[in-house]
Structure formats: structure tokens, C-alpha cells
Amino acid sequence: MSSQPEHRFVVVTGTSTGIGAATAVHLADKGFHVFACVRQAADGEELRARAPESVTPIVIDVTNESTIASAASAVADAVGKTGLAGLVNNAGIGVPAPIEFQPMADFREQLEVNLFGPVAMIQAFMPLIRRAQGRIVNVGSIGGMLVLPINGAYSASKFGIRAISDALRLELRQWNIHVSLIEVAPVKTAIFGKSFAALDELESTIGDEGFKLYKQQIAAIRKAVEDAAASADSPLVIAKAIHHALTSDKPKAKYLVGHGGKKTAVAAALPDGARDRALVHELGLPKPE
């Protein structure tokens, strides 16, 4: 794909707020026509008002294959023979809880949204990507490099999208279809508020026994989230990395973006024992009883 094709159509999921909204507007400003995937029609209209000529909202649930199929059909009709210059899998959720007590529905939902959803989107939109020799950009997380307690399910999904991205990069190399993974360090989005709410609700979610056992770890993770929120970057830094992945003549396989990302990469590379000790110290986790 040339870096500046005549027509550039891109699909972006999770555009209601945060990284997705910033990406949709930034790509529209850079000359793309963005099919912005949202869960609620009102969110799409609000986004389209920011770039009326360059954003087409699409109501979609990435965990519902029938809505994905309908969206793929609508996009195919709109782009015709031009195809898609890119698919950006950004939709994601995080529901913290200790694995021992996390409701399986919450565990499954994170895998459905963060891992199975992107795979379903890729399968549905690949014919259009092939048509334009377009690109795939998966939005991951530093949680896919380094696991913290109370975040095991989220990290499982993000380690998974890392593996999917690595596999796709090799599988699609034959046709010069690039695949990039954006490993996101904390940015200022609504996910912080949702994380605080979920942590505050854990006493009722996991019950008295679970909360009593994990109270110190939950408090330590809440403090870590507070610290991350205080130093987080604007979601625009992620949008710019996504734009580079879609347009550069030499896109990176992985983009580590956001405040604290390099520190996380260093910690992730440590031997297991050293990494555990470092995290226990850094987070103030309770020592073995």
C-alpha cells in the first residue's frame, strides 16, 4: 500500500470515547474516511459532528457476529472496489478482580471484547483489506507485556492479542499486508473512572471472603491506578502512532506508546523471580504470611 492512496477508508472500533474517538478524529483530519464503530447511535452522531464529511458512524457490537457481518456488508457497499486501507481494532474493556473469585462471566467478557472481537472483525473485513492491500492495527496494552495482580483476565486478553498480531504478521506477509500492535501505556481516558468504580465494587462483586483475603492487594492496585492516571498522556499520542502504522512506508511491528511504557518493558524483561520481587516492592504488595 502506498503511503498516500487516492482514497483511504478505515474502520475503527471503540470510537465512543478515549483512544477510539481521538483516533477517528485524527485520521479524519489526515484525509481518511473513517467508519467509526460505536455501541450507541448517539455516540456516533456526536463523533460525526466533529468531522461531518469524513466520519460515518456504524453501530456494532464486536461480540456479536451478526452486527459485525452487517457492518462489513455496509462498508463493502460504501467502499466498492477501493477496499479498506486499514482496520483498527481498538474496542476494549477491563474488569479487575482476583482470579480466584472473579465471576466467570466477567472473565469471559474481557476475552470476548478484547480478543475474540478483534479476530471476528479481522475475519469479516479481510476481503476488503486484501482489495486495497490495507493494514491491520491492533490496540494492545502494556498489560500484554507485564501482569499485575487483580488484572489477570485483562492481561490474558492483551497477551492474546499480542500473539494474534504476531501470527497475522507472518501469515499476511506473503501478500504485503502489514500488521502492527500498539502497546498502550496509560493515557487519559474514561477507563480510569471505570477501573476505580470496578475496584470500589469488588467487595460486593467477590463477596466478603474474597474481599477480606485480597483487601491489601486491591488497595495497592487502586493506588497504582491513581498514580498512572496522574501521569497519563493524552489519547492523541496513541492516535498519532496508529496513523503512522497505517501510512508509513516502514510501519513498525510494535509501537510502545505512552508514559511509563519503557519502564514497563524493562520490568517485563526481567527473570520471573526478579520481576516478582520488583513488582512486590513497587506496588507495596503484602509479603508472604
**Residue of 9, 32, 107, 154 marked catalytic:** 154
Residue whose grid cell is 500500500: 1
In the chain, what is the straight-line distance between the N-terminal and C-terminal CA atoms, in Å? 58
Residue 188 binned pLDDT confidence (cut-offs 50, 70, 90): confident
With bands split at pLDDT 50, 70 and 90, how would you rate the model's confidence at 136? very high
Residue 248 cell numbers, joined: 508509513
User: Is 2 a domain residue?
Assistant: no
Structurally, how many domains does the chain consist of?
A: 1
Residue 7: per-residue pLDDT: 65
Residues 273, 274, 280, 283, CA torsion sign: negative
pLDDT band at 1 (very low <50, low <70, confident <90, very high): very low
For residue 48, is it left (φ>0), alpha (ψ between -120 and 50) or beta?
alpha
Place of cell 493494514: 135
Give the pLDDT confidence score for residue 56 in this predicted structure.
Answer: 96
Residue range of the domain that includes 244: 9-283
Specify the pairing of strand 86-89 against strand 55-59: unpaired
Domain membership flag for residue 3:
no
* Rounded Cα gap, residues 8 and 222, in angstroms: 42
C-beta separation of 217 from 150 below 8 A? yes
Is 240 part of a structural domain of the chain? yes
Between helix 104-111 and helix 152-171 the angle, nearest 10°, is 30
Quote the pTM value: 0.93
Task: Report the distance separating Cα 127 and Cα 135, nearest Å.
Answer: 12
In a domain, 114, yes or no: yes
What pLDDT sits at residue 6?
A: 53
Least confident of 96-100, 201-205, 230-234, 262-266: 230-234
User: Does residue 1 form part of some domain?
Assistant: no
Residue 249 lies in a domain: yes
Domain assignment of residue 4, yes or no: no
Which of the 8 DSSP states describes residue 56?
A: E
**Closest by Cα among 259, 148, 267 to 199:** 148
In a domain, 98, yes or no: yes
Q: Is 154 a catalytic residue?
A: yes
Q: What is the CATH number of the domain that holds 127?
A: 3.40.50.720
